[in-house]
Amino acid sequence: MRKSGKISTLLSDKEKRFNLLAFITQISIIVIFLLSWEILTRLGVINTFVFSSPSLIIKTIKELFLTGHLVTHLTTTFLETAIAFVLGIVLGLLVALILYSFKFIAKVVDPFLTLINSLPKVALGPILIIWIGANTKSIIVMALLINLIVSIVTIYNGFLNIDENKIKLLKSFGATKGQILRKLIIPASYQTIVSSLKLNISMSLIGVIMGEFLVSKEGLGYLIMYGTQVFDLNLVMSGIFLLLIFSYILYKAISLLEKKLIKE
């Protein structure tokens, strides 16, 4: 028992050192990239008008913060992403349950899901603007169109991968369809459902940014589009930089939530 405990401790320490080394390497790559970028712009090798520079990006973000625009853009994008994310997960789970429970509906709907999923959603942007209007609702619907199909397919496939022998065993004991869903299908697909959160949050953010490109007057997508229109590359690069940080924070938040829920 003591030996097994020592071995598990050694393996845990080794894994921690490995993760720490990977993290340090990641940070080093980012720092080297940013330093190289800044040095090359100061030496005149890179044109700051076209590519901007880290110092100019920081300056632009500082100006946005001081004017109060930074908080407005971040809040707008966050709220739109959060709404689309929650709707995508809830509707995705409900539709996946319906498809699993009714095989005929799943057979009929399957080609349509594939067709809608392969359709470039940005092509529907002008139609959404006409139907819903140039407002926040059309942005959320755009994001929902992108994340919903992915959520449905991911969760539904998780249901289909349940061991058939376990289902037959429950049926042999007289379990109803509803009992099988509650006691076996959903609990056994728990990790798949939770893992789909990470995919859903990224799809939601992509949809929101695409929607903001088209109709918004606030948000990170609008910030990038406006900077492009006025040829302010510092503003464009600042928007992209903020979007990278924003997406990373969302991804890490979902990853932490995933670990916590799976442990529980």
Query: Higher-confidence residue: 191 or 48?
Result: 48
Per-residue pLDDT at 1 exceeds 60: no
Stated length of the chain: 264
Helix (H, G, I), strand (E, B) or coil at 113: helix
Average pLDDT, stretch 181-201? 80
Q: What is the pLDDT of residues 97-149, one digit of tens each?
A: 899 888 899 889 888 888 887 877 777 878 888 888 888 888 999 899 888 88
Comparing 13 with 48, which gets the higher pLDDT? Answer: 48
Show Cβ contacts of residue 187 under 8 Å, excluding neighbours closer than 6 positions.
none
Quick one: angle between helices 190-214 and 125-132, nearest 10? 80
pLDDT for res 199: 84
What is the arithmetic mean of pLDDT over 218-244?
91
- pLDDT level of residue 37 (50, 70, 90 thresholds): very high
Provide mean pLDDT across the span 48-69: 91
Q: What is the mean pLDDT of residues 56-70?
A: 93
pTM for this model (two decimals): 0.83
Residue with tokens 């500082």: 62
Nearest to 43 by CA among 31, 53, 33: 53
pLDDT of residue 182: 76
